[in-house]
Amino acid sequence: MASGKRPEHRAPPEIYYNEEEARKYTSNSRIIEIQQQLSERAIELLRLPEDQCCFILDIGCGSGLSGECLTEQGHVWVGLDISRHMLDVAVLRECEGDLIYGDMGQGIPFRAGSFDGAISVSAIQWLCNADKKGHHPPKRLYKFFSMLYASLNRGAKAVLQLYPENSSQLELITQQAMRAGFTGGLVVDYPNSTKAKKMFLCLFSGGSVQELPPGLGTDVNNADQSQHVAYSDKRERVKNMRGKPPKKSRDWILEKKERRKRQGKDVRADSKYTGRRRARKF
């Protein structure tokens, strides 16, 4: 959240996503780009059978940006959202999917086994707030997850991208999902970056045991190295023992590039010219 305060702290979702906020989702190209990237990654994580047209539920569909990605890939979808203004924008954009105005914390109003999969982009964290007197977050989360579980086919997946505020919120969400019968877990893209880091809750409803897909920007080799300490009988040179290499040195530059690569940023490939001084001017 570049603007500082989290939207969840400002107002309940049906009030926060007002006309002005909804308009941003059609005019602001940055918001649109982020939403599209997130939805494409969520659909990728769903791992639907190829060349098959599926019936998908989009939770917190908003103005239908994520739905557009689904339509592009040939799927039929139904969207659920609590903001009337966002849904009105979706109608204006002539979305292919059907739209339902409702509260996911009140349950998913579909009969058992309706959907081949479910996606959600930046919506679930709203359930952790108690915006009304009668709201009890764990209860609403449980109701949501248990009815989502019922509305999915056996063996179907749900991929929910979320922005948890802290680890206890994340624990609360996963705990209620597991209680409702889901298996699966969290996939984190670019875990070393604060900004590019994205969390996807991948849930499986029954069926055979499935493996979680790896997150982006998590190199398997790097993970191995961090778990084992390399054995060496030689003493490291004093320079290295002090920690960081001197600023502007080749080692320092390489280290910085490595760090930025892990954060999923665009980094030039290393070459023999990396960190070399420029020739003196004539």
- The reply on whether position 134 binds another protein by CB under 8 A is yes
Binding status of residue 124 toward another protein by CB under 8 A: no
Report the residue from 9, 15, 72, 102 that binds another protein according to the rule CB under 8 A: 102
Residue from 5, 132, 228, 235 binding another protein (CB under 8 A): 132
| DSSP letter assigned to residue 11 | S
The Cα 184–Cα 68 span in angstroms is 26
Site string for another protein, 32-71 (x = CB under 8 A): --------------------xx-x----------------
Look up residue 57 and give its two tokens: 């539920």
Tokens of 101: 């105005």
Binding another protein by CB under 8 A: which of 101, 191, 192, 218?
A: 101
Q: Report DSSP letters for 183-229, one per residue.
A: EEEEEEESTT-SSS-EEEEEEE-SSS--PPPPPTT--HHHHHHHHSP
For residue 72, state whether it binds another protein (rule: CB under 8 A): no
- In the complex, least distance from residue 74 CB atom to another protein, rounded to whole angstroms: 7
**Strand-pair category, 198-204 with 183-189:** antiparallel
Q: Which of 106, 225, 240, 249 binds another protein (CB under 8 A)?
A: 106
Element (H, E) at 155: strand 152-162
Does the footprint of another protein cover residue 86 (CB under 8 A)?
Answer: no
Note whether 111 binds another protein by CB under 8 A: yes
Does residue 171 interact with another protein by CB under 8 A?
no
Burial environment of residue 192 by CB neighbours within 10 A (0 to 12, 13 to 18, 19 or more): middle
**Nearest distance in Å: CB 94, another protein:** 10
Residues 179, 202: Cα–Cα separation, whole Å: 15
156 touching another protein, by CB under 8 A? no
Please tell me the distance from the alpha carbon of residue 36 to that of residue 34, in angstroms, as a whole number.
5
Cβ nearer to another protein, comparing 75 with 198: 75
3-class DSSP state of 29: helix
CA atoms within 13 A on the CB side of 64: 23
Name which position in 56, 99, 127, 201 contacts another protein (CB under 8 A): 99
Q: Pick the piece of the chain touching another protein (CB under 8 A) from 106-114, 217-225, 231-239, 268-276.
A: 106-114
* Residue nearer to another protein on the CB measure, 78 or 202: 78
Enumerate binding residues for another protein (CB under 8 A): 52-53, 55, 74, 76, 78, 82, 84, 87-88, 91, 96, 98-103, 106-111, 113-115, 132-134, 147
